[in-house]
Amino acid sequence: MDEKILIAILSPILVTIGGLITWFLKTKKEEYLTAEEKSREYKIKIYEILLEPFIYATTSTISEKEKEKGISKMLSLEYRKASFNLTTFGSDDVIKSYNRIFQFFFNKPNDISNEEYGIKLLTYYSDLLLNIRKDIYSKNTKLKRSNFLEFMINDISDFKEKIDKQKLK
């Protein structure tokens, strides 16, 4: 008889504790997902600002004056703020890709041909795009660097292998 009373007393207590634990875990998961979604939206805004000058540079249908105006946005305060925000909110791979492309600009080798320079620049740019995709959407993407350039370069097939196989430093 004592066992039945013990079971009758413990059952509701255990069910209540189980419910509280489930509620607590569900709440924490929802908070995490909400924070992750807000973070993703903020990252997208940062990445859009950082990519805008590159978009201007790779658009063949605008005038050189418009390209220069777009590229000069890299000198703006808004762009600098986005760069600093990248170091806080961007993934490690995106930050590394972004730094590589700018170090390549800053330290352009003197002994490099225009074609080789262009291929390296496209490699760094496409690597940045690939890492942004991995950060925002899917780490398991099957896309290669050259896939990000196909829509903007009509003779990409001539450079695909070089871009995809290029070692990044």
What integer pLDDT is reported at residue 1 of this predicted model? 58
Q: Which residues of the chain have pLDDT under 70?
A: 1
Whether 57 is covered by a domain: the verdict is no
What integer pLDDT is reported at residue 169 of this predicted model? 72
56-66 tens-digit pLDDT: 888 878 888 99
The residue among 131, 105, 46, 107 whose CA lies nearest residue 80 is: 46
Q: What is the reported pTM?
A: 0.74
What integer pLDDT is reported at residue 135 of this predicted model? 92
The residue among 81, 78, 91 whose CA lies nearest residue 128 is: 91
| Contact call for residues 126 and 145 (beta carbons, < 8 A) | yes
Whether 48 is covered by a domain: the verdict is no
Domain extent for 166: 91-169
The greatest distance separating any two alpha carbons of the chain, rounded to the nearest whole angstrom, comes to 93
Provide the domain count of the chain: 1
124-157 tens-digit pLDDT: 999 999 999 999 988 888 888 888 888 887 788 8
